Structure 1
Amino acid sequence: MKMKMVKKLVAMALVSTMTLSGLAACGDTKEEKSAKEETGKEEGKETEEGKQTLKLAAFKGGNGEKIWEDIAAAFEEEKGVEVELEMSSELDKDLTKSIQKGEFPDVVYYNLGQKSGFTETMLKEGAVADISDVFADEELKSRLLDGITDGTDAQPFADGKIYLAPIFYTPTGFWYNKNLFEGENKKYDLPTTWEEFFALGDAAKADGVALFTFPQSGYLDATMYSMLAQAGGTEFYQKAIKYDKDTWTSETGKKVLDTLGKLVSADYTEKDTVANANADGGFKINQQNVIDNKALFMPNGNWVIGEMAASTPEEFRWGMMPAPKWDGDESQTMYTFTEQMWIPAEAENMDLAKEFIKFMYSDKVVDILLNNETTDKETGTTAPAPVVAPVKGAAEKLPEGTTKDCYEASTADNIVTVTGGWVATEPIEGLNMKEAVYGPAYGVNTGEMTVEDWQAQLTETWEKCAGALK
């Protein structure tokens, strides 16, 4: 396996919304393409030994590096090919630079919802391949969790075509210190309704503890999705993510936004949340505030366990619950977050890339994911960081503990699970979706914006997006 060493290009200022059609123009000229056709082989497609080479580009994040090294090695052994692995914490910038030169990886692991919007930009520019045929395989379909490829995190245009492979999945919710809610040192009762939730906030305030914090405003995405589905049901949720014009002016939409606005207000959110969220690495301080009992709840996924392992006391116990429900609701809604892999439309080894995506759902990879560990760079501490593939039975193999509890909670009888997100559109000049939708939480907290201002901004954003649907 080749490791492509990637230098961080910190000084390089690249605009993430740059159109890929412009970038593609910097690629091969007609003469260069003709030269390739004459040789009968595209450059870099095979090694000197005649092996095919798969170029895999993976975002270097919370799951660590070894997980991709192990997966690449397993694929090499299984298929008799070579994998050229590129890992970078600034993958969007590195790939943009490569694309400017007409160089494309065969497979990319880079999620929707990142600050750069790189995957969304690639989708909007038609630069991501349709991989519906991969998931038409009956054997593969029988292995996958029901409905995992039905959401917009697999079908971003909601047109029945799959462009993104959901390779990992994580139930999300409100994370908290379990020791405060059960056991001999129990201090509070766990709320299930919003009325109970805010009443708890009033009681905790008297103890000098905030009800809520959030790492950064983007972490409110799963909360907003689950609240929309909770308040209006599946039909309302599906209309909302497709930019129905009445989403935020309807009684249901206003109920969601009023509740969310109250939640992020200075009355209930930890006082330094916004300052920390906008500081370099400050999101971890907000997460630490839950560990240190300065705030009771935060929205997150089970990756937070490994992410905060070095600063989590041994006696601390994580817990996770769905976002509260409104009075009278029988069930609660939980949003399931997926991480995606995709193939550039210009990939040289398209067939091999599709084989690799199928391989991501194999028993071999399932076991590699479940046995994953991460090492904290500052302390050298190694901790289990299992990752779960959306394969039937995978979550059942998890060891007993918080992570397994989260997955079991997402399949409980009284839980309705939702996936997907805002439907992809044509490029909209000047629009940063993440900032437009979740950014106002900062202003509502500081008093610079009202919930009505947030509603007006969302309504305007929905109008723009509806007009730019593919």
Structure 2
Amino acid sequence: MTALVAGPGASLLSACATSGGGGDQPSAAPATSIAASADPKNPFGVDAKKPLEVVIFSGGYGDSYAKDLHEELYKKAYPGVTVKHTATQQIGTQLRPRIVGNDMPDVINNSGPEALDLAALATEGHLADLTPLYDAPSFDDPSKKVRDTITPLVLQNGKLDGKDLVLNYTVSHRALWYNAKLFAAKGWSVPKTWAEFTALGEAAKKEGITLFAYPGKKGPYYQLWNVLYTAAKIGGNQVIIDIDNLVDNAWQSEAMKQAVAAWVGIQQKYGDKAYLGLDHTQTQVKQLQNKVLFYPCGSWLENEMTKDIPLDFEYAIAPIPDVTASDKMPYGAIQVGVGENFVVAAKGKNPQGGMEYLRLMLSKEGAAGFTKKTNNLTVVTGAADSSGFPPGLVSASKAQDAAGENIITDARFEGWYKELFDYGWEQTNVLMSGRITADEFCSRMQKKADDIKKDDSVTKQTRSA
């Protein structure tokens, strides 16, 4: 098995604005300038007497990788230091009031349904420029800069307003997940065309199995991702690039309309609206019970459900089937990207410590330990031994090898335009519940994109690939 290398695109999940309207706001503390020191072992001049505060999203990866590994590496490097650890699935709810009050934690793992709006944080000057981190000597080999030890996509996809403000730490694969053992037992093959997909839907229906489901209560962005990647499969990555760049009528491209219509058809004929009322964990348990055949998610899924996986279940990844006979991307094209955002508070109490914490995360010990604890890869080159990988990660690696250059890009408007992405979540559920048509979904999304494009108060971002 070859080493996994991230494909184009970063996942900047964003939800929950950093502040609300009304009332006088406290004056912001000036951002601390972080300059490199002469000591390669302490390149940011960390003061061990200063406490460090770390907030982790305890989702699919849990939080022990931070509490028991990364934070311990920091304590080992700076004996006597105090590290405050907080784990939560409600990043926005917990941190929004603190950010408004200029009390932002030093390091934030910004992820999940309530992730903060990174573009807004960048505009408000809350995010530290990570350029000094990437230019610092690596922990393992001081003759190398940190930037030379990680996949270049970290630098390409972690920019906001042209600055290096976000560290995307993991390599992830998003596609359709299924039970390989069930397929083997039934003699089923993974569908390569939409006709094969619907034929399998008929076979699954006879077995009392729902062909496809996604969680509508929490994580509806799973299906929004799925529709976007299907559109890219049909029309090429330019479809998503145009959406990100707010190109006129991008949401009404033929590829987008075909993708939306295709999944609406699956939902109408083979879906179950009951799943729209379930959250991600409840839906994932249903799949482990072989009540759902295909589930759209990322490669964190296997680790998230590891304690519940029964003996007759083995996660495997399936590419999106060919939707038309003229899809621009061939069967086997798969989404591969870098994600799981980490940021350092520019106006926090210990930005130097925050920067050093990220440097330790990007050490081989920090990265290999993360992979061991979560069964997911990091962006650190050559840090993980592929032996002992669980079935789902092995399957994802093989799928990436088979895809070659046919990598589907992430949609970056997730982090660039919070309002548009949040609206997309809402409209995806409205669409999949049958309350609007595919054309109406595309029209509504286009109108929202047009409104944002016209809004001069919204900082615009662009990408070329």
Partner residue in 2 for 1:457: 444
CA distance in 1, matches of 2:18, 2:103: 17
In structure 1, what residue type is equivalent to 2:58?
K
CA distance in 1, matches of 2:311, 2:23: 50
Q: C-alpha offsets along residues 352-397 of structure 1, whole Å, 9 cap, x if unaligned?
A: 322222221101101221221xxxxxxxxxxxx3232112224543
CA distance in 2, matches of 1:87, 1:18: 19
Partner residue in 1 for 2:246: 243
Q: C-alpha offsets along residues 53-72 of structure 1, whole Å, 9 cap, x if unaligned?
A: 33222223332332212211
Matched, 1:150 2:190: no
Task: Spell out the pairing of 1:15-414 with structure 2 (5 A cutoff).
Answer: 16-17=16-17, 19=19, 25-26=25-26, 51-69=49-67, 70-80=69-79, 82-89=81-88, 90-111=90-111, 114-115=113-114, 117-136=116-135, 139-151=145-157, 154-157=158-161, 159=162, 161-182=163-184, 185-216=185-216, 217-263=220-266, 265-276=267-278, 282-326=279-323, 327-328=325-326, 329-337=329-337, 338-372=339-373, 385-414=374-403
3-state SS in 2 of match to 1:166: strand
Q: C-alpha offsets along residues 309-331 of structure 1, whole Å, 9 cap, x if unaligned?
A: 34332222111112223335435
In structure 1, what residue type is equivalent to 2:397?
E
CA distance in 2, matches of 1:340, 1:286: 25
- Structure 1 residues 398 and 53: CA distance shift in structure 2, 3 A: farther
Matched, 1:439 2:426: yes
Cα drift, residue 342 of structure 1: 0.5
CA distance in 1, matches of 2:290, 2:126: 46
- CA-based RMSD: 3.1
Cα drift, residue 116 of structure 1: 5.3
CA distance in 2, matches of 1:60, 1:425: 20
CA distance in 2, matches of 1:448, 1:20: 31
3-state SS in 1 of match to 2:340: strand
Is 2:74–2:360's contact at 8 Å kept on the other side of the alignment?
yes
Cα drift, residue 300 of structure 1: 1.4
3-state SS in 1 of match to 2:265: helix
Q: C-alpha offsets along residues 387-441 of structure 1, whole Å, 9 cap, x if unaligned?
A: 32112224543514314314413531434234443337888xxx74344213223
Cα drift, residue 166 of structure 1: 0.6
Cα drift, residue 176 of structure 1: 0.7
- Structure 1 residues 439 and 143: CA distance shift in structure 2, 3 A: same
CA distance in 2, matches of 1:433, 1:109: 22
3-state SS in 2 of match to 1:336: strand
Cα drift, residue 348 of structure 1: 3.3
- Structure 1 residues 19 and 199: CA distance shift in structure 2, 3 A: same
CA distance in 2, matches of 1:87, 1:296: 36
CA distance in 2, matches of 1:18, 1:141: 30
Is 1:128–1:343's contact at 8 Å kept on the other side of the alignment?
yes
Cα drift, residue 251 of structure 1: 1.7
Cα drift, residue 340 of structure 1: 0.7
- Report the number of matched residues: 413
CA distance in 1, matches of 2:321, 2:62: 32
Is 1:174–1:300's contact at 8 Å kept on the other side of the alignment?
yes
TM-score (norm 1): 0.78
Is 1:371–1:386's contact at 8 Å kept on the other side of the alignment?
yes
In structure 2, what residue type is equivalent to 1:155?
K
- Structure 1 residues 271 and 249: CA distance shift in structure 2, 3 A: closer
Identity %: 19
Cα drift, residue 124 of structure 1: 4.7
In structure 2, what residue type is equivalent to 1:316?
F
Q: C-alpha offsets along residues 64-92 of structure 1, whole Å, 9 cap, x if unaligned?
A: 33221221111121244624223131332
Matched, 1:417 2:407: yes
3-state SS in 2 of match to 1:76: helix
Cα drift, residue 110 of structure 1: 1.3
Q: Which protein, 1 or 2, shows the higher relative CO under an 8 Å CA cutoff with sep ≥ 6? A: 2
Structure 2 unaligned spans of 5+: 1-14, 31-44, 137-143, 461-465
Query: Which stretch of the first structure deviates more once superposed, 100-109 or 170-179?
Result: 100-109
CA distance in 1, matches of 2:73, 2:104: 23
Query: Which stretch of the first structure deviates more once superposed, 242-251 or 451-460?
Result: 242-251
Partner residue in 2 for 1:36: none
Cα drift, residue 454 of structure 1: 0.7
- Structure 1 residues 324 and 438: CA distance shift in structure 2, 3 A: farther
Structure 1 unaligned spans of 5+: 1-14, 31-44, 277-281, 373-384
CA distance in 2, matches of 1:254, 1:423: 19
- Structure 1 residues 353 and 178: CA distance shift in structure 2, 3 A: same
3-state SS in 1 of match to 2:441: helix
Query: Which stretch of the first structure deviates more once superposed, 353-362 or 439-448?
Result: 439-448
CA distance in 2, matches of 1:317, 1:419: 27
